[in-house]
């Protein structure tokens, strides 16, 4: 095993820097934003990028850079929280579907399998729209919708991993030695199951941010005038020909987060193979 295989590539470190920057945007936006996100100045509406407004201004004269910085909080919070909830739900469903093969737990496995397949049969965005149509728009609805739409992917991976591990040599040897089921699960099954799932969750954060932005673009996320990247894309759409910066820069923020999480997730996946 070479030292190169144990270290992240320069591209992965660039992804970490990008994510750290957006993390700072989310944590301390007031320190970094040149103006308030809701500060209206109609006299300076539709100003192109310049030294006074690095990313220009919108139709109300609000600084686009400031709104992107403040918008990172909602976008990243939705992405991280929905990924965490989806991961927890997927882990529970996957363990129930892939766990003990005894007849006593067969009904539980059957129900968990059917829930996973039913959720997986819906496209993620369609499932999210269905949930929001029932609950109504809002940040909480978006978090729940994105979490439920991403949970089946985690559940299927956990289910397959658990079933494979329960038939593996180390687990069968531990069972033959009389180890308790709880010990087998906590020391052999769950740690090996969580490693690839956590790597997938890194990729899932970017997917969740993009899905949340899509819902915001449709007007189902954070209500205006609160800055949110998807809503900013939608607000700038009517002015695309005269004020391109209103859509390009929020879209670039979404794209950078998506690419950075993908690059980092792939790097962690490659590294886990050599661990």
Per-residue pLDDT tens digits for 97-136: 877 666 656 788 888 888 888 888 877 788 888 888 888 8
What does CATH list as the number for 4-30+60-273? 1.10.3720.10
b/e code 57-71 from CB counts within 10 Å (16+ = b)? bbeebbbbbbbbbbb
Residue 225, preceding peptide bond in cis (omega within 30° of 0): yes
Per-residue pLDDT tens digits for 148-185: 888 888 988 888 888 887 777 777 777 677 667 667 77
Model confidence at 58: pLDDT above 70: yes
pLDDT above 90 as % of the chain:
36
Helix axes 64-98, 106-120, angle to 10 degrees: 150
243 near 186, Cβ under 8 Å?
no
29 near 68, Cβ under 8 Å?
no
Mean pLDDT of 71-94: 91
Give whole-number Cα distances, 262 to 96, 109, 197, in Å: 29, 32, 14
Half-sphere exposure of 174 (CA within 13 A, CB side): 18
Q: What CA–CA distance (Å, rounded) separates 93 from 274?
A: 28
Ramachandran quadrant class, 255 (left: phi over 0; alpha: psi -120 to 50; beta: rest): alpha
Q: What CA–CA distance (Å, rounded) separates 161 from 95?
A: 9
Which residue from 1, 14, 57 is spatially nearest to 236, judged by alpha carbons? 57
Residue 57's φ and ψ, nearest 5 degrees, are -125, 165
Q: Which pTM value belongs to this model?
A: 0.84
Mean pLDDT of 37-52: 92
């Amino acid at each position: 095993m070479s030292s190169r295989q144990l270290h992240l590539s320069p591209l992965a470190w660039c992804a970490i820097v990008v994510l750290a920057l957006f993390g700072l945007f989310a944590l301390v936006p007031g320190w970094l934003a040149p103006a308030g996100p809701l500060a209206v100045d109609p006299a300076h509406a539709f100003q192109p990028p310049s030294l006074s407004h690095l990313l220009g201004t919108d139709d109300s004269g609000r600084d686009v850079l400031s709104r992107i910085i403040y918008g990172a909080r909602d976008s990243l919070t939705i992405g991280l929280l929905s990924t965490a909830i989806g991961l927890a739900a997927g882990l529970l469903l996957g363990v129930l579907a892939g766990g003990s093969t005894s007849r006593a737990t067969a009904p539980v496995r059957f129900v968990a399998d059917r829930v996973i397949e039913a959720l997986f049969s819906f496209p993620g965005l369609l499932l999210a729209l269905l949930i929001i149509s029932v609950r109504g728009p809002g940040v909480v609805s978006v978090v729940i919708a994105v979490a439920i739409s991403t949970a089946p992917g985690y559940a299927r991976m956990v289910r397959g991993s658990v079933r494979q591990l329960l038939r593996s040599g180390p687990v069968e040897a531990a069972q033959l030695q009389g180890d308790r089921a709880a010990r087998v699960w906590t020391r052999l099954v769950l740690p090996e199951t969580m490693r690839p799932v956590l790597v997938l969750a890194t990729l899932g954060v970017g997917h969740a941010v993009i899905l949340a932005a899509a819902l915001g673009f449709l007007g189902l996320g954070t209500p205006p005038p609160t800055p949110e990247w998807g809503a900013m894309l939608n607000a700038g759409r009517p002015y695309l020909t005269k004020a391109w910066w209103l859509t390009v820069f929020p879209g670039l923020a979404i794209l950078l987060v998506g690419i950075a999480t993908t690059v980092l997730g792939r790097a962690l996946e490659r590294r886990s193979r050599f661990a």
